[in-house]
A and B are shown apart, each in its own frame.
Chain A
């Protein structure tokens, strides 16, 4: 293995191939983090709605989860990028196609965010539902209203329970961000492929990309274990070992 090619000037764009790798890492991070903001916010709302007893809140949330979970991410990515600008009203469509900066990036963020929201919703729902129902009854008996029960009991406990599954959802979003290369986002996997085409150093550059993915995964896992330990409520099962 010879990584010398990384310091060579790249085929285009001024910098070296190493700069391409760094730029790939940057876009992978940006897509993942922006998509995670959508996935976490929307997923939390949907997850909470699915635990309510009101059918007109529960129904739409369930429909959303089923719809977005049962269509492959690649198809959703293409729909956000190719189909949405065509079927929205004309002026908005024109803006999406020509006016909006970085259309690939935002399509990827929306596709990945809305797709992962359905998975986050399921985790949040199962976290809330794993809290014994007696606790809700006790809270209601002390005079709390249902919104207060969510605010002071179900959400704080539920989120602590789902930290490990939510961590793996974040890692999934981070790996799935590579699907964005299909609509032209130059993230890490895309850069690795392009560099291998220009330099024929396929083995080296794929190894480097794999190592970066593994290192980031390890870093996130360790960080989230620390967070989990910090937030642990003593004396409760399921909130850390």
Chain B
């Protein structure tokens, strides 16, 4: 079964796979930061008392959450160059590579998921905290930024990180537009050298180790920072 396994092919491909892994990790981190920032704004909009803010945010989140990620990637691959053409007037959309399209797609897609996590986090802060802040004379932004969000994020850190692990796994889908992330690199080597078995099993092993370790640390963090009551 494994007798004609060729480990050399993995060794030879390591520098290329490493580049791919850096791409995957870079995309994950940037999309995570962007997604959390945008997701926080969306969550505040969804919880706002103004309908003009609540309804668009709700529609956006529900729309993105019921569309497959691959379709969203295709959408942005198609839309981003058009949008750039409109904004800059440059008909070739120079400077906007596939990486930027993918980054925008992941950021906007993840924002919808982060929004729901953060909304639940904000709602888990007791209403008395907001009332106390208002009684002290804090305005909306002061109460939100200095009282509500710090407490909400403290409770949410493990879930936000878990979503980050899911996002890391999802970045493998940039394969569909031909980008060379870790999976893309593994797949290119696999097809070039005709070594599908070795490369795909190796890719699975690496993803497993990274995600398993990451979720292990998240679990430990969770038991450590369980909020003091």
Residues of A at the B interface (CB closer than 8 Å) are: 66-67, 69-76, 78-79, 82-83, 86-87, 171, 175-179, 181-182, 189, 192-193, 196, 202-203, 206, 209-210, 213-214, 217-218
Contact = CB atoms under 8 A, between A and B. Distances in A.
Given A72-B170, A214-B63, A178 B68 contact: yes
A75 B24 CA distance: 14
B176 interface: yes
Contacts of A181: 70, 176
Given A82-B190, A181-B176, A214-B67, 8 more contacts: A66-B212, A67-B208, A75-B183, A75-B200, A82-B196, A83-B197, A175-B67, A214-B66
A138 to B, nearest CB: 29
Q: Which of B70, B176, B187 has the most CB of A within 10 A?
A: B70
Nearest to A76: B204
B69 interface: yes
Contacts of A182: 175-176
B141 interface: no
A210 B74 CA distance: 11
Given A75-B183, A178-B68, A82 B197 contact: yes
A75 B172 contact: yes
A66 B211 CA distance: 10
Contacts of B172: 72, 74-75
Interface of B: 1-2, 62-63, 66-71, 74-75, 78, 169-170, 172-173, 175-176, 183, 187, 190, 196-197, 200-201, 203-204, 207-208, 211-212, 215
B171 to A, nearest CB: 8
A74, A83, A176, A218: which has the most chain B beta carbons within 10 Å?
A74
Contact of B207 (A71, A196, A203): A71
Contacts of B173: 74, 179
Contact of A71 (B66, B71, B75, B208): B208
Contacts of A218: 66
29 contacts: A70-B212, A71-B207, A71-B208, A72-B183, A74-B173, A74-B183, A75-B183, A75-B200, A75-B203, A79-B201, A79-B204, A82-B190, A83-B201, A86-B197, A87-B2, A87-B197, A175-B66, A175-B67, A175-B68, A178-B71, A179-B70, A181-B176, A189-B71, A189-B74, A206-B71, A206-B74, A210-B67, A214-B63, A217-B66
Contacts of A82: 190, 196-197, 200
